[in-house]
Amino acid sequence: MTSLLQACKYITFPITTHRGVAGIKEKDYISVNKAEAVADGVRIVTGPGTGFGQAFLVKGAFAPCYEVFPSEGGHVDFPARSDEDWELVKFAYDYIEHSNNVENLRGKCKPTRMSIERVCAGPAVPMIYEFYKSKIPDTTMARTLETGENAKTPD
């Protein structure tokens, strides 16, 4: 039996996403700092989703396209820089250890460190919601996750 597949290259989702960044035009993004973009210069990409993927893209002097170097950058420690950041980190330790949030049930344990992924990526949204709800308990802010036909419990 002959295989129709002669060659195969496995490409992860972050690599395909980050490759797309090379084609983005200046009109398609907002800069978060005052640095001037250098034509064909190094590019840095972060992508919060279920994790916090990060990559850098480089293009050699004679290369036709950028090469993507993905990383597990979301595993670095969360860099708390303000009192509110520290409050969020303390809240996150307790929330991760004690809540019944589906994300926390997968690895139920007492966390020993707090990564950017745990505080900033998609699965952290319920925790951030609970954090701010605890800081502003008397708010009249709509409790989108708690009211209406599609209400969810925090856990």
Q: Give per-10-residue mean pLDDT for the chain (155 aa).
A: 52 62 75 79 80 85 86 87 95 87 70 88 84 77 59 56
Please list the alpha-helical segments (H only) found in 81-148. Answer: 83-98, 102-105, 116-120, 125-135
Q: Are strands 67-71 and 43-48 parallel, antiparallel or unpaired?
A: unpaired
Place of tokens 């419990």: 153
Q: How many CB atoms lie within 10 A of CB 41?
A: 11
- Which residue, among 59, 65, 61, 125, has the nearest Cα to 92 in the 3D structure? 125
Q: What's the pLDDT score for residue 83?
A: 95
Return the number of other C-beta atoms located less than 10 Å from residue 132's C-beta: 13
Work out the angle between the directed axes of helices 83-98 and 125-135 (0-180°, nearest 10).
120
pLDDT given at position 69 = 86
pLDDT at site 44: 81
Strands (DSSP E) contained in 1-155 are: 43-48, 52-58, 67-71
pLDDT of 130 = 85
pLDDT of residue 141: 56
Query: Are the beta carbons of 114 and 92 closer than 8 angstroms?
Result: yes
Backbone φ and ψ for 57, nearest 5 degrees, come out as: -120, 135
Res 74: pLDDT: 83
Of 42, 31, 44, the closest CA to residue 70 belongs to: 44
The pLDDT of residue 17 = 66
Distance CA 66, CA 68 (A): 6
